[in-house]
Amino acid sequence: MSTRSLTPTRLVVALAAAGVIGGAGASFVTASIARAAAPASVAGAPAATAGMAAPAPAIAPTDFTQIVQRHGAAVVNISVSGMKKVAGQGIPGLDPDDPFYEFFKRFAVPGGQGQREMPMRGQGSGFIVDPDGIILTNAHVVQDAKDVTVKLTDRREFQARVLGTDPKTDVAVLKIDATHLPVVPLGSARDLQVGEWVLAIGSPFGFENSVTAGVVSAKGRSLPDDSYVPFIQTDVAVNPGNSGGPLFDARGEVVGINSQIFSRTGGYQGLSFAIPIDVALRVRDQIVAHGTVRHAKLGVTVQEVNQALADSFKLDKPEGALVASVEKGGPADHAGLKSGDVILKADGKPIVASGDLPALIGEASPGDKVALEVWRHGKREEITARLGNASDKVANATAIDDKAAKGRVGLALRPLDPQEQREAGVEGGLLVEGTGGPAAMAGVRPGDVLVGVNGMPVKSIEQVRAALAKSDKSAALLIMRDGNRIFVPVKIG
């Protein structure tokens, strides 16, 4: 499968804007950064000028050959195939120039001629973490796959079972029926330092067991819609097909799973991102034990604190996570967090950038208590919150049925979470969880995604209410259904 890429605009926005908090056995040191000894003085050569600093010793490049030789056999190639539903490209028997062609194309019934299934094939990488055939890779590598084939470096191939996937962290766990397999030693991203040498092994563009190297550029990066993952940023060359492959440190331990790239072209342009192995192992343990993954949720929307906001809130410096909104009935709401609070610490760990908070919450489990240090009204306060389950829809469907909407409409809506937005291919939008009255009579169905009212885009319940309040006898709802957008007129009851 292709390595996921991020557009420049999305990445810049993600690094600066709000995020929602709800994508070792090494017994050796194979290589290290060696410092060359200072050259000995040559007889007759002039002595160093007094007061001049001696030149810094050179740093020899890291030799990764031993890592590749010892652990390359534990890196696998993954091929997937399946069928994927796509919007129909044409209406059989109808000329594209026919005036009714576009009408039938847009309003074709779900499952009818407006949709079709297309063969889907892709490639990715993975690595063996258990000699009995447990393999880690990316969730997006095996998404929509019916058949998953794992190929080892000795050219043997196995049909793999997908034990489970976790789209929130983009981690998947596979199982093949084999024993006594080579495994990679596992390290920890916590010990990784910016500037350290790292290398990736994978199958870019299908070229199996390719090795690329670089350095750690940054740690704890927050990317769009991946608030549960504090990514490792590197300059290692990662391309489509590298997804799911291991990122090794100079000690030969796996510290991450290569997952995403930042690119204007779809190929490597100097920025690649890996999921910390610590995150992946927590996901693996839950999938192997229970088949599912549970994530903790605080229930707030946060944004970055810049200098202007720091001045406004009388903070010493622009740090922390500014609470923009609090999910009604969620853990933060029960704990007493309010919009305008600035979260400075979580369990004693400082929150420097807003993306630090979801990463810390992601390390916890539902039901855990977290001690928050909050800046409120010019002073520090301590608040303890019991984290909820990210799978719970606390802010469940909100009924659009009040005086502001001028009567009964018959819609029960809730905001889409980031994963649902990705699947629907929309930014914002509201999921229809229930219908009745006028909406049901008009043909709106549970599972539809409401993206606009009367020609205006809507991303919140409040925007829907405001738009309906301005409607007279009917409202035109823009609905996304099975990849198609249609307007549905609904009478205001």
For 457, residues 6+ apart whose C-beta sits below 8 A from its C-beta are: 428, 451
Q: What is the DSSP string of 373-388?
A: EEEETTEEEEEEEE-E
Q: Which helix (H) or strand (E) holds 333?
A: helix 331-335
Q: Within 13 A of 329's CA, how many CA atoms are on the CB side? A: 8
Alpha carbon distance 418, 420 (integer Å)? 5
Q: Which residues on adjacent β-strands are paired with residue 296?
A: 389
Distance CA 80, CA 121 (A): 6
The helix (H) or strand (E) run that includes residue 168 is none
Quote the Cα angle for 312-316-320, to 5°: 80
**Dist. CA 274–CA 223, nearest whole Å:** 11
Nearest to 334 by CA among 375, 392, 384, 398: 384
Cβ atoms of 490 and 475 within 8 Å: the answer is yes
Spatial separation of the C-alpha atoms in residues 385 and 77, rounded to whole Å: 43
For residue 181, the SS3 value is: coil
Q: Facing residues of 85 across strands?
A: 117
3 state DSSP class of 339:
coil
C-alpha span between 282 and 95 (Å, rounded) = 54
3 in Cβ contact with 241 (< 8 Å) = yes
Query: Parallel, antiparallel, or unpaired: how do β-strands 254-262 and 4-6 relate?
Result: parallel
Query: What is the separation of C-alpha 271 from the centre of its chain, rounded to a whole number of angstroms?
Result: 16
* Contact criterion met (CB below 8 Å) for 386 and 331: yes
Residues with active-site annotation: 140, 170, 243
Query: Which conformational region is residue 162 in: left (phi greater than 0), alpha (psi within -120 to 50 degrees), or beta?
Result: beta
The rounded distance, in Å, linking the Cα atoms of 427 and 420 is: 10
| Consecutive H or E run containing 415 | strand 407-415
Buried b / exposed e over 63-72, threshold 16 CB at 10 Å, is ebeebbebbb
Closest CA to 302 of 328, 329, 338, 273: 338
